[in-house]
Amino acid sequence: MEKTLEDIQTYLCWYNQVYGSDLYIDGELSAVNLAVEPDQQIRAVNLSSSKAQQQIIDQFSPELKQFYDQIHTCQKCDLGKTRKHFVFGAGNPNADIMFIGEAPGRDEDEQGIPFVGRAGKLLDKMLAAIGLHRSDIFIANVLKCRPPQNRDPLPDEILHCEPYLKKQLEIIQPKVLVALGRIAGQVLLKRTDSLSVLRQEPLLYEKTPLIVTYHPAALLRNPQWKQNAWIDLKKIKKIT
């Protein structure tokens, strides 16, 4: 009984950190509970996007910076023609944990920075709930350019862009990977299973432990998944 109460208390603390104390209205989070305290990452976003991007690039290791310089003008697929910004990734170049999403969305394309906007703010809260900050992790996407209207990546786009992600993994050498969303999980694992299947299994990407969980944007749309997301966050905390 004591353990159950402790679990409930821990869950409620996490819920409050991630979703705030406001109620959901029509399945959406209210503007109020998405307001987060300004932190280093968000302050950077508020600078002009090129300044914020430059701040991020300046934090890269020489090898990562050299790789960025090699690929940031890529035109290997049609998304190179429609992007506003190439979104390489951001964070600690020596991170033990790397989060991988699917592709930049509208806000990321505008700013050239991964996971900004509402989903990015939620990700920050999720990280904080397990004692992490953006500066502890590296975050990147499978695709470095935004698919129009945020559609799913096409097979030839993944084919052309995935080697960039592989090279980032080779340079950063994280000890744990977290795939945010079904598509990131499927691409890394070369499987077609649903997210609900992928998130149940202990997985490896090559020899690195991999956890597949919800994309924060999906959690914003489907708050009923928050309890499962908490289970996944606990798994991440346990192995990091």
We find the least distance from the C-beta atom of residue 133 to ligand SF4, in angstroms, to be 27
Among residues 145, 165, 177, 220, the one that binds ligand SF4 under rule CB under 6 A: 145
Please report whether residue 84 would count as binding ligand SF4 according to CB under 6 A.
Answer: no
Q: Residue 27 or 163: which CB sits closer to ligand SF4?
A: 163
Please report whether residue 160 would count as binding ligand SF4 according to CB under 6 A.
Answer: yes
CB-based contact 181:216 (threshold 8 Å): no
We find the least distance from the C-beta atom of residue 215 to ligand SF4, in angstroms, to be 18
One-letter amino acid identity for 56?
Answer: I
Terminal Cα distance for the chain, rounded: 28
Please report whether residue 77 would count as binding ligand SF4 according to CB under 6 A.
Answer: yes
Q: Residue 79 or 219: which CB sits closer to ligand SF4?
A: 79
Among residues 64, 161, 198, 236, the one that binds ligand SF4 under rule CB under 6 A: 161
Instruction: Name the one range near ligand SF4 by CB under 6 A: 35-43, 77-85, 107-115, 117-125.
Output: 77-85
Dihedral sign from CA coordinates of 69, 116, 41, 239: negative
Among residues 15, 55, 68, 76, the one that binds ligand SF4 under rule CB under 6 A: 76
Q: Where are the beta strands (DSSP E) in 49-115?
A: 90-91, 97-101
Please report whether residue 109 would count as binding ligand SF4 according to CB under 6 A.
Answer: no
Please report whether residue 79 would count as binding ligand SF4 according to CB under 6 A.
Answer: yes
Q: Residue 132 or 161: which CB sits closer to ligand SF4?
A: 161
Sheet holding 203-205, edge to edge: 90-91, 137-141, 97-101, 176-180, 208-213, 203-205
Closest CA to 169 of 96, 86, 78: 96
CB-based contact 145:80 (threshold 8 Å): yes
Please report whether residue 133 would count as binding ligand SF4 according to CB under 6 A.
Answer: no
CB-based contact 223:84 (threshold 8 Å): no
Please report whether residue 143 would count as binding ligand SF4 according to CB under 6 A.
Answer: yes
We find the least distance from the C-beta atom of residue 79 to ligand SF4, in angstroms, to be 4
Q: How far is CA 235 from CA 44, 192, 231, in A?
A: 30, 22, 7
Please report whether residue 184 would count as binding ligand SF4 according to CB under 6 A.
Answer: no
CB-based contact 141:103 (threshold 8 Å): yes
| Footprint on this chain of ligand SF4 (rule: CB under 6 A) | 74-77, 79-80, 143-145, 157, 160-161
